[in-house]
Amino acid sequence: MRIAAAITHATGAPFALEQVELGGPAPDEVLVRIAGTGICHTDLLARDGDYPMPLPAVLGHEGAGVVEAVGAQVDELAPGDHVVLTYRSCGRCPSCASASPGYCRDIFQLTYGGARPDGTSALSQDGAPLHGHFFSQSSFAEYAIAHRRNAVKVRDDVPIEALGPLGCGVQTGVGAVIYSLGARPGTSIAILGTGAVGLSAVTGAVLAGCTTIVAVDLKPSRLTLARELGATHTIRAGGVEDLAAQLRDVAPDGLDFTLDTTGRPEIVRTAVDALAPMGACGLIGGSRLGTEVSLDMNTILFGGRTFRGIIGGDSVPQLTIPLLVDLYASGRLPLDKLITYYPLDRIDEAVADTESGAAVKAVLRPA
């Protein structure tokens, strides 16, 4: 079938909305009509060559929509089902077997390989294969092919076009606080960077019962929104020394938890140094491959502090995403405060607003 899709033709190039061919689903895949798809920082890392996605390609990995067709082996989904698309995992490795699909041994290939595991692509243009299957979906398009493992059925009484960010940014932010760090009622947390993931983490901290929730960002509008979502303290970040001092002012004995969404080494170091004994810092922010951070080993050793990476908020998407939809429907997950909608043909405007901070979570609607 012929569809419109936004193509990244070269490293750092603007997106181009063009006609492409999309093949039907393989036996273990589904065809989804995209109602809305979020723009995530990871899409831009792939566009800019910081992650090794082959180009030209169709990106997009926060899709949500309606199932149009299913492959012969798919019996858990049917045409008409509402689905949120997330990342794919193999389902066989030790990480998957231990309910940690975000750390699947094959996740890098399934995410950034540019094709199905067998090397084929459902996308083509002018008779030539086109790289796709980004996060096993490539949802910057009117339709997407997803695998049965990364298409999560959700209730159909909420606006499906709003749900795409649950597949990546929102489940990562909420899950990082609740699942990865295990924040408990009465604890303290600082969230460094209040984009969509960081603001989702603020909501996660509220849900977890944290009583000190510090939001850190450069943009006053983001900090105002963080307060609306439940942050008890906000810090407008300046230099690293100023940030460290301001965190000490809030928590002189250190914080129970810190969470970095910026991917900036100097901010990560500050987040680790701000921990109380037995505290834990989680790293979510993506950065160019090869980026290194320097930590004081004795800060980690003495006091038993923990520093760890977090993918997908340690969520099991098939369980977490429906729970997040229920929270959204009940008003406890204020997703609408984060979203700005754009038509698909204004993707470059949406990207520019994402990069400038004018939009917290840009969501593209193909129709």
Asked if residue 64 lies in contact with residue 34, where contact means CB atoms within 8 angstroms, the answer is: yes
Residue 151 resides in a domain: yes
| Enclosing domain of residue 188 | 174-311
Q: Measured between alpha carbons, how far is 171 from 325 in angstroms, rounded to an integer? A: 10
- The verdict on residue 59 lying in a domain is yes
Q: Determine, yes or no, domain membership for 318.
A: no
Domain-located, residue 327: no
Whether 251 and 109 map to the same domain: the answer is: no
The answer on 141 and 74 residing in a single domain is yes
Q: How many helices (H) and strands (E) does the chain have?
A: 11, 18
One domain, residues 245 and 347: no
Query: Looking at the 3D structure of the chain, how many domains does it have?
Result: 2
Regarding whether 204 and 84 lie in a shared domain, the answer is: no
Q: Would you say residue 324 lies in a domain? A: no
pLDDT tens digits, one per residue of 282-337: 999 888 889 999 999 999 999 999 999 999 999 999 999 999 999 999 999 999 99
Q: How far apart are CA 8 and CA 13, in angstroms?
A: 6
Any idea what the CATH number is for the domain that residue 133 is in?
3.90.180.10
pTM over 0.85: yes
Do 16 and 118 share a domain, yes or no? yes
Say yes or no: 11 and 157 in one domain: yes
305 shares a domain with 281: yes
Report the CATH number at residue 220.
3.40.50.720
In a domain, 316, yes or no: no
pLDDT on residue 286: 84
Inside any domain, residue 161: yes
**DSSP state letters, 97-154:** HTT-GGG-TTHHHHHHSSS-TTS--SEEETTEE-B--GGGT--SBSEEEEEGGGEEEE
- Same structural domain for residues 163 and 178? no
Question: Does residue 156 share a domain with residue 10?
Answer: yes
> Which pLDDT belongs to residue 237?
83
Considering the domain boundaries, does residue 19 fall inside one?
yes
**Whether residue 190 is found in the same domain as residue 264:** yes
Angle, alpha carbons 331-334-340 (nearest 5°): 135
Q: Mean pLDDT per 10-residue run, the chain (367 residues)? A: 97 96 98 98 94 95 98 97 97 96 95 96 96 98 98 98 97 97 98 96 98 96 96 88 91 97 94 97 90 94 96 96 98 96 97 94 95
Same domain, 133 and 31: yes
My answer on whether 30 and 103 are in the same domain is yes
